[in-house]
Amino acid sequence: MGQDKLWSDVNGKPLIAHTLAAVAAENDFDLVVMAAPRARWHDIERWTGETGMGEVLLVGVHDAARPLVTPALIRRVLAAARETGAATAGIPSSDTIKVVAGGTVTRTLDRDGLLATQTPQAFRTELLVRAHRAALEDGVSADDDALLVERIGAPVAVVAGEARNLKVTHPHDLDVVRALLDSGP
């Protein structure tokens, strides 16, 4: 996008403030930890306050670029992770997905078995730590924690995601999020 999208103005507040509001509306959290560059720590403290860290049994992971996440979706993912150890949200793919090599389609995937996964994701702490340690030892890098848990052979439950839980990736995505926020829940 050419800018730090999390600080883009969305209806008078930074994009990240909308995400934090949804997380704050879910009272099941004892602690929220955010990863951010040092230059943004002051801004984040302004939006989050400070807290201490006790024993953490369940870890939730959410992409702050998904500001329309609902407390209901957060609750569904947390409940599934409490029961199974790991959970993510997903919605059926409405697109046809092609495997391409060298600019040529080599295969079309069956849409019936495909989901577009979303955050939030949640994991039992020991499981997520084990998955990250294995990835580090194997030299594997991933931008999806559920993938790391899959790699160590642990099942990841999927709960119904939400079409409105859009990820801001491109500048026009900000316009879509603004319009959805203006239209209400």
pLDDT, tens only, 149-179: 999 999 999 999 999 999 999 999 999 999 9
The answer to whether the Cα torsion of 77, 83, 87, 91 is positive or negative is negative
CATH value at residue 12? 3.90.550.10
pLDDT, average across residues 88-94:
95
Structure confidence by residue, pLDDT tens digits, 104-150: 999 999 998 899 999 999 999 899 999 999 999 999 999 899 999 99
CB 164, CB 177: distance < 8 Å: no
Q: What SS3 state is found at 165? A: coil
Residue 160 corresponds to which amino acid?
A
Q: Tell me the residue range of the domain where 13 lies.
A: 5-183
- If one counts the domains in the chain, the total is 1
Structure confidence by residue, pLDDT tens digits, 16-40: 777 777 666 665 666 566 666 667 6
Q: What pLDDT shows up at residue 5?
A: 74
Q: What pLDDT shows up at residue 11?
A: 80
Q: 182: which 2 tokens?
A: 């203006």
The answer to whether the Cα torsion of 24, 26, 32, 35 is positive or negative is negative
